[in-house]
Amino acid sequence: MRLTFVTVDVFTDRQFGGNPLAVVIDADGLSSRQMQVIAAEFNLAETTFVLPPQDAAHTAQVRIFTPRAEMPFAGHPNVGTATGAANVALIGLLAQLRPEPDLQLAKKIAQGVDMGRPSLLEARAEKTAGVVTATYIGGTCVPVMRGVLDLA
């Protein structure tokens, strides 16, 4: 079995910045055990595996593994694979705490600076009639390498 993978640096506009992530494309047919072994081999904070969607309303299913265990959800792997981050809750809270009944709030959030891998997230919230109606999180993602996994 041959599987294509890419590694990307998430929440940055330059290679070797941000958070590194491995993405295994078309991982259908891999067992959970195989995914775990592959994630351990990459030895990055997270490795994602892109699978066909379980629900027709979605475009894909993404499973996230650390070198030691599967995770139910994590922000940077979802953005690096396609969307999402924990900071989306922060922007929603900040918008809710503001006194204006109608508001569009946008913030840039820096993280990883002290680690030498600076990341920049862009967060946005919309508030209408005193209620936060939408939150968004995003950032850029830079490809670093591409390859093929040859599995016996």
Q: What is the pLDDT of residues 8-20, one digit of tens each?
A: 988 888 888 878 9
The alpha carbon of residue 134 and the mean position of all alpha carbons in its chain are separated, in whole angstroms, by: 19
Residue 68 is predicted with a pLDDT of 97
What the block records as the tokens of 75 is: 């922000």
Radius of gyration of the chain (CA): 17
The alpha carbon of residue 14 and the mean position of all alpha carbons in its chain are separated, in whole angstroms, by: 17
Instruction: Tell me the domain boundaries of the chain.
Output: 2-150
Q: What is the pLDDT of residues 58-94, one digit of tens each?
A: 778 899 999 999 998 776 676 666 574 557 778 889 9
Mean pLDDT over 43-55 rounds to: 92
Residue 96 is predicted with a pLDDT of 93
Per DSSP bridges, beta strands 47-51 and 141-150 are unpaired
What the block records as the tokens of 94 is: 């900040």
Catalytic residue among 46, 70, 100, 122: 46
pLDDT at 27 over 60: yes
Confirm or reject CATH 3.10.310.10 for domain 2-150, answering yes or no.
yes
Which sign, positive or negative, has the C-alpha torsion 20, 68, 114, 89? positive
pTM over 0.85: no
More confident residue, 61 or 119: 61
- Count of Cβ atoms closer than 10 Å to residue 101 Cβ: 10
**100 catalytic, yes or no?**
no
